[in-house]
Structure 1
Amino acid sequence: MPDVFESPKLAHPYVRVHNDALSLHFENECIQSLMSCQNPDGLEIPYTRTMMVFLLAKPNPDHILMIGLGGGSLAKFCHKHLPNTHITVVEINPDVIALRNLFKVPDDDDRFRVVLADGADFVRDAKTNFDVILVDGFDEKGQSAQLTTREFYEDCYRLLQSKGILVANLDNEHPAHILFLKRALKTFKNCAVELQVPERSNSILFACKDVPITSRWMSLSWTLNAHTSDARDQLKDEFQRILGILGTLEALTDLS
């Protein structure tokens, strides 16, 4: 039986100024997004760099779906550093979208658009296929419930191209975290890994359609050389850490 949720009550976001940075918040003190005014396209919060892990498998995807806009960190980075990629961003909260100019989110054009919709509804009804789906849907209560259901993961799986990648930001401290993780693993037939974010209470789910996650078909040099020096500087250390984790997991699997 499908999970049933009431329509979420949308909190009003607010912005704080910190010297040369802007941060996005809801009702609690937790920073939802952080932007340096000197480098508005930069990935300032560690988990956003972890979410770019998909580049190790797909350095130049044709079409990315992002669920959750926030301050637009991932959207801006991908728009700048993936110039041949079409990007669709789905955001449920109109007040968040209203802040897009303040956070320097690009205007809609032929390859970039922001859609006002519930991410779960969007993937249920969408007909377009995507190479990558990024899920970063949080509100004032934490992880959005409708983005953790079995149906949601199945819809994401259906929309992905063969060997497509799902990357999702998860809340480790959510009481149902293990349940949410099991749903994703079952949908993706265990072709997934959970990557812990250093010194944070969240982790990143990295799942692939049809093929197992393995560092054996990833190349750090190939991935980084496909992008600008700015992108390389921001991602190199995190990508090295992730490849080390994957290599360790594979070695343990080989020994078992």
Structure 2
Amino acid sequence: MTRARDPSSEQSYIGDEPTLSESVGVRYLHFGSPWVQGAMQVRKPERLYLAYTQQMMAWLLFLEPESDRVITQLGLGAASITRFCHKFLPNPLVVVERNPAVVSICRQYFKLPDDDRTQVVLDDAAQWVLASENRASASVLMVDLYDAQAQGPVCDSLQFYRHCQRVLEPEGILSVNLFGHHQSYERNLERLAKAFDNRLLLMPQAEEGNQIVLAFKGPILEWNRPALMERAEMLETATRLPARRWVRSLGKITSI
């Protein structure tokens, strides 16, 4: 979810049901407000249109996607990341979304994949991460949980992040969307640092203010720049993600 407003948002948004709008070939999802909760290029639905959703995939620099390792999302949004992962990665996909109306609108208008490799779970994210059967179930956990007013993450307690850490496999990665300009930002960073033993990597802040944080479970993070650049070149060729830009910015990325 991003704090950007949809260019066609002159209309009124009433209630908290998901709504959509479209402008210049881009379809937008809203949750009862003009704040953009997700977007899709109608002619290229598999591409990640919003910059922050691209950065959510930066874990690909450090972890090889494999067909026996599950990628889990908390929060469906406009199914952008789900479409991308389904198109470009071999992993099984699990999406946890509490609102059935969001799932419905994504199936109708945002090309949510519907096959055996994609499992959509109707559940509250905070409750889902508590369940013992979900421990160590995901190699990657991507968290993008916001309400209609986009006033900071709706799940951001230390307990929540600790349960996210437990959902990950022994060498898993959490990718979470925060807002660098929101009052909740420092609080979230502190709690993530406690839950993941200070092993965080902060991506460059997006223009809209979104701040993607990667949190690592497993061995201490070390990177070899030439090897990362080689991997980034392959990623960029295969997926068109700006992966080489990420590697060039590693000197500016904050590791806590």
Q: Is 1:190 aligned to 2:195, yes or no?
A: no
Q: What is the correspondence of 1:111-150 to structure 2 with a 5 Å cutoff?
A: 111-128=117-134, 129-142=137-150, 145-150=153-158
Supply the AA of the counterpart residue of 1:93.
Answer: N
When structure 1 is superposed on structure 2, of 144-153 and 46-55 the one drifting more is 144-153
Which position in structure 2 is the counterpart of 1:65? Answer: 72
Per-residue deviation, residues 71-98 of structure 1 (Å, max 9, x unmatched): 100000001101x201100111121111
Supply the AA of the counterpart residue of 2:46.
Answer: D
8 A Cα contact 1:192 1:212, kept in partner? no
Q: What is the correspondence of 1:22-171 to structure 2 with a 5 Å cutoff?
A: 22-61=27-66, 62-82=69-89, 84-101=90-107, 102-107=109-114, 109-128=115-134, 129-142=137-150, 145-171=153-179
**1:249 positional shift:** 5.5
When structure 1 is superposed on structure 2, of 205-214 and 128-137 the one drifting more is 205-214
8 A Cα contact 2:78 2:110, kept in partner? yes
After superposition, the Cα gap between the structure-2 partners of 1:36 and 1:230, relative to the gap in structure 1 and judged at 3 Å, is: farther
Quote the RMSD (CA, aligned, Å). 2.3
SS in 2 for 1:88: strand
After superposition, the Cα gap between the structure-2 partners of 1:45 and 1:13, relative to the gap in structure 1 and judged at 3 Å, is: same
- Distance (whole Å) between structure 1 residues aligned to residue 178 and residue 236 of structure 2: 29
Per-residue deviation, residues 123-164 of structure 1 (Å, max 9, x unmatched): 111524210000011121225655211111111111211221
Q: Aligned residues: percent identity?
A: 31
After superposition, the Cα gap between the structure-2 partners of 1:143 and 1:185, relative to the gap in structure 1 and judged at 3 Å, is: farther
- Distance (whole Å) between structure 2 residues aligned to residue 73 and residue 145 of structure 1: 18
Q: In proportion to residue count, which structure has more helix?
A: 1
- Distance (whole Å) between structure 1 residues aligned to residue 252 and residue 154 of structure 2: 33
Q: Please, which of 179, 185, 206 is the counterpart of residue 214 of structure 2?
A: 206
- Distance (whole Å) between structure 1 residues aligned to residue 230 and residue 186 of structure 2: 34
- Distance (whole Å) between structure 2 residues aligned to residue 47 and residue 56 of structure 1: 16
Supply the AA of the counterpart residue of 2:194.
Answer: K
Q: Is 1:14 aligned to 2:31, yes or no?
A: no
Q: Please, which of 215, 220, 231 is the counterpart of residue 223 of structure 2?
A: 215
After superposition, the Cα gap between the structure-2 partners of 1:34 and 1:110, relative to the gap in structure 1 and judged at 3 Å, is: same
**1:216 positional shift:** 2.4
- Distance (whole Å) between structure 1 residues aligned to residue 232 and residue 126 of structure 2: 31
Structure 2 stretches of 5 or more lacking a match?
1-14
8 A Cα contact 1:192 1:208, kept in partner? yes
Per-residue deviation, residues 43-86 of structure 1 (Å, max 9, x unmatched): 0000011111010111314111101111100000001101x201
Supply the AA of the counterpart residue of 1:136.
Answer: D
Supply the AA of the counterpart residue of 2:251.
Answer: G
8 A Cα contact 2:232 2:247, kept in partner? no
Per-residue deviation, residues 186-215 of structure 1 (Å, max 9, x unmatched): 110011122233312110011100333343
- TM-score, structure 2 normalization: 0.84
- Distance (whole Å) between structure 1 residues aligned to residue 24 and residue 154 of structure 2: 36
After superposition, the Cα gap between the structure-2 partners of 1:59 and 1:141, relative to the gap in structure 1 and judged at 3 Å, is: same
- Distance (whole Å) between structure 2 residues aligned to residue 242 and residue 228 of structure 1: 11
8 A Cα contact 1:22 1:34, kept in partner? yes
**1:173 positional shift:** 2.7
- Distance (whole Å) between structure 2 residues aligned to residue 155 and residue 35 of structure 1: 31
- TM-score, structure 1 normalization: 0.84
Supply the AA of the counterpart residue of 1:121.
Answer: Q
Which contiguous aligned blocks of 4+ residues in structure 1 show a shift greater than 6 angstroms? none
